[in-house]
Structure 1
Amino acid sequence: MTLSTRSGKAAGKPRKLKRLSRRDIVALSFMVGIPTLIELLLVWGPTLLSIGLSLTRWNGLELSDLKSAGLDNYRFIAQDYPPFWPAVGHNVLWLLFLGVIGTPLGLLLAVLLDQKIRGSRIYQSIFFIPVMLSMALIGVIWQLFYNRDNGLLNFLLGTAGTPQAVDWFGDSSVNIWAAMIAATWRHAGYVMILYLAGLKGVDPTLKEAASLDGANARQTFFRVVFPAMRPVNIIIVVITIIESLRAFDVVWVINQGKNGLELLSALVIQNLVGEGQVIGVGSALAVILLVISLVPIVWYLIRTFRREDRA
């Protein structure tokens, strides 16, 4: 029998699966079961409960007052709830602002810091610091910056303490823009880190080949490097959409999402907590926000699984 024949038989022989010991089964049960249980209790349980409550009329106090409402809460939101459509418009505006200003700014920072300049690590840390801060704290920081009487911005404009001073967070015509700039300060640092990781993963030979073909730095980036970061680009698109939908902390710190800062997430809390709470309406708003949020997530997962199947 030749060596190739013996190796062929060995290759064709089915391998025996290792039998799991009782200790392995217990360890796997803990590693898989406990996270799954936590996910069910803290994520899917409240999600299903919100869907159920969105179909009811309830004051949140006594179960005896719980009554079925069908789709009335959704009809009320779409037709008779004044803050809803302004909030949708603000969320869309938030998305456009992050997509047109915040994300390109993060990309620009990543490209500049990828040039191996002196002190690039220090600059990365400086731009990444806002990402480590909570959005609530960022709202407080920017309140100090935008303060009408003692804020740094009005001081730089020379209007601090005068009647000409702009109330950046109190004026409904400008506060949404001020809040979006505060959110962009954090978003740009997050995008920067993701793009830096993507730039490090691009094959250097692609840049060398483009250089040999006579491409300049700009052409190399937009025609070679940027398309090569397609997986990172998709992730950042999804993150930008989700960030625009989950925007909450900054506007809540400013004025609890009122007076020109209405957002879907703020409307959910307004209806679920505090005086005048309407549990059914708040739950319906939460379900609407969930459905909208699932669209980019499902789109990303479909593209990921298709790419794995092709590979």
Structure 2
Amino acid sequence: MRRLINDGQNVVNEWIEGYTSAFNEYVEQDPDNPGVILGKHIADKHVKIIIGGGSGHEPLFPGYIGKNLADASVAGNINTSPSPQAVYEAIKKVDTGEGVLMLYGNYSGDCMNFDMAAEMAEDEGHKVDSLPITDDVFSAKNVSDRRGVAGDLIVIKAAAAAAAQGKNLAEVKAAAEMANRQTHSMGMALSSETNPLTGKEVFTMEEGDMEIGMGIHGEPGIKREKLKSADEVVSEMTDYILADMKTDENTQVYVILNGLGGLPLMDQFICYRKLAQILQEHKIKVYHALVGNYATSMDMIGMSITLAQLTPELQELLDFPCDAPYWRV
């Protein structure tokens, strides 16, 4: 195992302790609930945004807690949903009376546990709503069945901006739903991730192979084949994404080219180079681009592409000022 950790059983608590120490001007670890990371700005009275999921995808989710972004994050064990109790405690800590919107990837464990927490909180008088994010274009034909990947960022940003503008809970959720509809992603991998609890790879992949369409937990993709050039890989992925979109000569996109943890930034920029060329060929304007590790899968070598097709409303929400350790506007 090529990981720099201590005891594998303690990795979740130790990474949270390290993260909250490094960014203590933004966040703090809830002393009563170690998996809950709270923003230090949550006293502001507006709809609160709670995000979260399994550990191993850092900086997703705590990297996006900050001013005009999320208010709290709940971390589960490695690739495992947080418990309903932890989510429930986070709701109680952040709600200031305007309601709470919870955002998370569309995975069965997350949906079940966040929904259970919402029911517990609603029984005590809290207003709670939720939205599973569904940006992965390959994972299902039915959009509501798709999983969430790096497009989580777009939805979180839009919802949080709407909340910061003083919109009510229904309006904030509507903004999140709109952003979710406009966001399209796809991933690929050249290696497995290494589980720090076992010291072993999560799945087996031969050196020199790649898998197109793989999810951030190692979910199977479209096909596994021998590694192609960066240009070929990006072209194939972008074809799938654009087939899921309706574009014309006026289309503008917000782009995230996301590293999954083990792919060098050099390679990510080579991939973005080709992506920009393809979008130009399709007369699609890049409004803004993010390149880097935004939603990882620990040490997996791979990347994902996210295109958020802008509407005037979505552009305004993405441009709204925010300040968090891993996203500033």
Larger Rg computed on CA atoms = 1
Same fold, TM-score > 0.5, yes or no: no
TM-score (norm 1): 0.23
TM-score (norm 2): 0.22
Q: Which structure's residues are more often helix, by fraction? A: 1
